[in-house]
Amino acid sequence: MVPADRQLSASREWIVVRDRATIITSIILLLLAAVAWVDVIQSSLQTPDMMMTMFMPATLAGAITFIAGWAVMMTAMMLPSALPMIALYGATQRREALTAPRGVPVALFTLVYLTVWAASGVPAYLAHTGLMALSPRMFAYGIAGVLLAAGVFQFSPLKQACLRACRSPLGFLLGHWRAGLPGSLTLGWSHAVYCLGCCWALMLVLVGAGAMGLAWVFLIAAVVAAEKLLPGGEWVARTTGAALLLLGVAVVVRPELVTTLRGHSM
């Protein structure tokens, strides 16, 4: 006889019906991402951020400003590729007997996911401040190190394991399922950690080599989406890794390329 927990797991393997609630959830999340993209684009068209172009000592005010901008940017970049996972989780909630109002579990899941990405702005800020404190030549080699480390990580087993979790929403939910509102918090945290584990190196490239410039934001957002959503996403990751390795070697050979990468005079 099949155990009850196996029956429960099997019962969750259904095709997601695009009912009204799923469509509304998806539209709301896409609108949130669109608003974040508008803010990112408007910010990039203003006067260049001095924090990104010259050394400034680490301060609480500077950290808050950086992390706030980072949170908006992560919402724009990461939310669209997380939409399949969030929409599927929302569909599961209509199969569960929950006492919470409809939409609350999905809101908690999404909030935790975005909060974890916003919190990643803390190490990003510290890494950027440390890089900007280096002499020009050491700064160039530091950027080369970032590119090379990110390129190597793209081929690592950890990258592939985290990417598989992000590419398989149904498999992730079946393997990490928790019921109730505490389960929403746990699942949102788990998915965010896998996503962060998958993409942290690309975000380090965005901060270091790209100075969070708009072209780099678009490029890395496209790579993240391709890795997670397109067939053969694993090969997208490896191809990106090879490109980063080549770029890192080029910077080692010609440190002046850092100026071109960051889009401003050092």
Write out pLDDT tens, residues 11-49: 444 344 446 667 777 888 899 999 999 999 988 887 665
Between the two ends of the chain, the Cα-to-Cα distance in Å is: 70
Residues 44 and 96: their CA atoms lie apart, in Å, by 43
Q: For residue range 92-102, what is the model confidence (pLDDT) as tens digits?
A: 776 555 555 66
Report CA torsion sign: 237, 248, 58, 259. Answer: negative
Angle between helices 169-176 and 180-208 in degrees, nearest 10: 130
Confidence category of residue 10, pLDDT binned at 50, 70, 90: very low
The answer to whether 74 and 17 have CB atoms below 8 angstroms apart is no
pLDDT at position 94 is 62
Residue 61 counted as domain residue = yes
Its pTM stands at: 0.84
Whether 259 has a pLDDT exceeding 70, the answer reads: yes
Contacts of 173 by beta carbon, 8 Å cutoff, 6+ apart: 12, 85, 88, 89, 92, 187
Tokens representing residue 76 in the block: 């724009």
User: How far lies 135's CA from each of 130, 141, 143, 255, 266, in Å?
Assistant: 11, 10, 12, 12, 10
Residues 223 and 100: their CA atoms lie apart, in Å, by 36
The answer to whether 231 and 244 have CB atoms below 8 angstroms apart is no
Residue 8 counted as domain residue = no
Residue 65 counted as domain residue = yes
Residue 3 counted as domain residue = no
Tokens representing residue 103 in the block: 């939409």
Q: Please give the tally of structural domains in the chain.
A: 1
Domain containing 132 equals: 19-262
Residues 68 and 127: their CA atoms lie apart, in Å, by 16
Q: For residue range 230-244, what is the model confidence (pLDDT) as tens digits?
A: 999 999 999 999 999
Residue 36 counted as domain residue = yes
Residue 23 counted as domain residue = yes
Residue 9 counted as domain residue = no
